[in-house]
Chains A and B, each alone.
Chain A
């Protein structure tokens, strides 16, 4: 088609030269899926054209103009290092599942999206659980978004989602049916199992002291 004649089309406000492109932000959208023993997530990263040069230096570490497979993986590992994932206060270790990088031209033009998929095993827990996700990757330029997918497991029901304004901090509370409450001991000692080991050592030391000093121990 021919372009519209200048006389009939008047833009009220001037558009930025790079009108179609994301500019000075690094969009980072995360979708989280919870299962009974696993959490999966995908994070889509879209660099704006104005911040792309600085980000490229972080990706193309040998500056050869190509983001090699090894550089892609290394960048994904750095992204994961900037994330924090906990369940009921326990820190989780994200495991990289896949990395997809668009062409370097797409990244440069502001239309390229990097996708990183990762998962983490969930320790067994009670019927009510709280997952906290934090993203600190390039926080000065980031536009974070994070959401939970509707659980596929009908036993799992999302109870609440809470975020700070920038969405760098996200809390997901959910309940799961068919899960027994924790054993009493784990309720008394909800933290690290090392506490139990320390307690056992203390009791052992106490018995040893009593035995050495010849004092009887009575069990009733």
Chain B
């Protein structure tokens, strides 16, 4: 079976798990199943203390050859171990969240192929690690990431916290089996639709007058909260606010459904205090991605979408960041 097809199959198997389980017990069960496939040395490599700050911060947009990750890579696991690892990741995510992850890895596999089999890229170079002891009640963390991906998922009973999380894609548009794939296409399409739904006065507030070359609060900027800018959603109409929430759900909806529902309720309550800012071109080539930067910021939220120039078409290389400045790494539930 092809690697990416195998991931899809695992996703479906995971989603058909026993319905009586709570999400937290299902994820803890998947974690323990994965750990049971490992030998002693592998378990030591994949497990970290829950409060290991260095491991928490060991993530990046860069390939692993440039920024080392902790844990075990998919490439050093047997087929059975890899299946269990991906089933664990899938159990912590929604269906569309895992599909996004799968496409980001697929893009990196495509990049590897197009870079003459460059060993710096590929689906085997994504790492999994567990911080703390998997439990249905006590908090613990699952990390999964590599090039253009950093999932930091804190499971604390029925609460699931997905921040900070980095998603990205290169190429951010590719064709596979005759089908065009844009792993972060919805993040692009929904954002430009929202911008075009604003009137001239709102656009004037939302569009920043300066260039943004990259993420402001990317890797290494934990604990920072910048002053919000742009258009406040309290100055939007109901339809525009609904569009903004729908755009936010592209990140908030990556985690499994019950955690995503709770997170969206929190962000909906904050919507009047949430800002939308845009920098760059206000048009897009049909079927492609925007080449503009945008930021959504609220009391419990920072989202950044930053196309990367890096010598090529910015529509084909995108970095995004998703944070909760009040609860990154699930610090709030962990403190209880």
Residues in chain A near residue B272, CB distance under 8 A: none
Is B22 part of the binding interface, using a Cβ–Cβ cutoff of 8 Å? no
Q: How far is the CB of B118 from chain A (nearest CB, A)?
A: 8
Residues in chain B near residue A5, CB distance under 8 A: 2
Q: How far is the CB of A30 from chain B (nearest CB, A)?
A: 10
- What is the CA–CA distance of A1 and B105 in the complex, to the nearest angstrom? 11
B174 and A10 contact, CB distance less than 8 A: yes
| B interface: dominant SS | loop
Given that A1-B75, A145-B212 are contacting pairs, would A25 and B171 also be in contact in the complex, using a CB cutoff of 8 Å?
no
B177 and A8 contact, CB distance less than 8 A: yes
> In the complex, which of the residues A11, A21, A145, A164 contacts B111, with contact meaning CB atoms closer than 8 Å?
A11
A21 and B106 contact, CB distance less than 8 A: no
Which residue of B is nearest A172, CB measured? B227
Q: How far is the CB of A117 from chain B (nearest CB, A)?
A: 13
> In the complex, which of the residues A1, A23, A29, A106 contacts B311, with contact meaning CB atoms closer than 8 Å?
A23
Q: How far is the CB of B314 from chain A (nearest CB, A)?
A: 12
- Interface 1/0 per residue, A84-103 and B, CB below 8 Å: 00000000000000000000
Q: How far is the CB of B205 from chain A (nearest CB, A)?
A: 13
| A interface: dominant SS | loop
Is B193 part of the binding interface, using a Cβ–Cβ cutoff of 8 Å? no
- Interface 1/0 per residue, B50-68 and A, CB below 8 Å: 0000000000101101110
Is A17 part of the binding interface, using a Cβ–Cβ cutoff of 8 Å? yes
Residues in chain B near residue A4, CB distance under 8 A: 2-4, 106, 109-110, 112-113, 123
Q: How far is the CB of B66 from chain A (nearest CB, A)?
A: 4
Residues in chain A near residue B134, CB distance under 8 A: none
Stretch of A62-70, A124-132, A146-154, A211-219 lying at the B interface: A146-154
- Interface 1/0 per residue, B94-128 and A, CB below 8 Å: 00000000000010011111110100111110000
Total residue contacts A-B, CB cutoff 8 A: 142
Residues in chain B near residue A15, CB distance under 8 A: 111, 114-115, 170-171, 312, 316
Q: How far is the CB of A22 from chain B (nearest CB, A)?
A: 6
How many A residues touch B, CB cutoff 8 Å?
47
A9 and B113 contact, CB distance less than 8 A: yes
- What is the CA–CA distance of A157 and B233 in the complex, to the nearest angstrom? 20
- Interface 1/0 per residue, A6-20 and B, CB below 8 Å: 101111111111111
Which residue of A is nearest B229, CB measured? A161
Q: How far is the CB of B288 from chain A (nearest CB, A)?
A: 10
Which residue of A is nearest B308, CB measured? A22
Is B214 part of the binding interface, using a Cβ–Cβ cutoff of 8 Å? yes
B226 and A19 contact, CB distance less than 8 A: no
A143 and B214 contact, CB distance less than 8 A: yes
> In the complex, which of the residues B122, B214, B226, B310 contacts A1, with contact meaning CB atoms closer than 8 Å?
B122
Is A163 part of the binding interface, using a Cβ–Cβ cutoff of 8 Å? yes
Which residue of A is nearest B223, CB measured? A149
B227 and A3 contact, CB distance less than 8 A: no
A17 and B115 contact, CB distance less than 8 A: yes
Q: How far is the CB of B78 from chain A (nearest CB, A)?
A: 12
> In the complex, which of the residues A8, A23, A44 contacts B220, with contact meaning CB atoms closer than 8 Å?
A44
Is B15 part of the binding interface, using a Cβ–Cβ cutoff of 8 Å? no
Is B224 part of the binding interface, using a Cβ–Cβ cutoff of 8 Å? yes
B3 and A1 contact, CB distance less than 8 A: yes
- What is the CA–CA distance of A20 and B120 in the complex, to the nearest angstrom? 9
- What is the CA–CA distance of A158 and B265 in the complex, to the nearest angstrom? 29
> In the complex, which of the residues B74, B209, B311 contacts A16, with contact meaning CB atoms closer than 8 Å?
B311
Q: How far is the CB of A20 from chain B (nearest CB, A)?
A: 5
Which residue of B is nearest A17, CB measured? B115
Residues in chain A near residue B4, CB distance under 8 A: 4
Q: How far is the CB of A2 from chain B (nearest CB, A)?
A: 6
Is B213 part of the binding interface, using a Cβ–Cβ cutoff of 8 Å? yes
> In the complex, which of the residues A3, A16, A17 contacts B109, with contact meaning CB atoms closer than 8 Å?
A3
Interface centre among B2, B176, B177, B211 (most CB of A within 10 A): B211
Residues in chain B near residue A111, CB distance under 8 A: 60, 62, 66-67
Which residue of B is nearest A147, CB measured? B226
Given that A4-B2, A25-B309 are contacting pairs, would A11 and B174 also be in contact in the complex, using a CB cutoff of 8 Å?
yes
Is A60 part of the binding interface, using a Cβ–Cβ cutoff of 8 Å? no
Residues in chain A near residue B147, CB distance under 8 A: 20
Which residue of A is nearest B316, CB measured? A13
What are 15 A-B residue pairs whose CB atoms fall within 8 Å in the complex?
Answer: A3-B112, A4-B109, A4-B113, A8-B176, A13-B316, A15-B111, A15-B312, A19-B111, A20-B147, A22-B310, A143-B213, A148-B226, A148-B227, A149-B224, A165-B210
Which residues of A does B touch, CB under 8 Å? Answer: 1-6, 8-25, 27, 29, 31, 44, 106, 109-111, 113, 115, 143, 145, 147-150, 158, 161, 163-167
Taking A1-B124, A15-B316, A16-B311 as known contacts, 12 extra A-B pairs with beta carbons closer than 8 A to each other, sorted by chain A number, are: A6-B113, A8-B2, A9-B110, A9-B174, A10-B176, A11-B114, A12-B171, A12-B175, A21-B310, A111-B60, A143-B213, A158-B227
The 6 closest A-B pairs by CB, nearest first: A143-B213, A111-B66, A1-B3, A16-B311, A11-B114, A1-B124
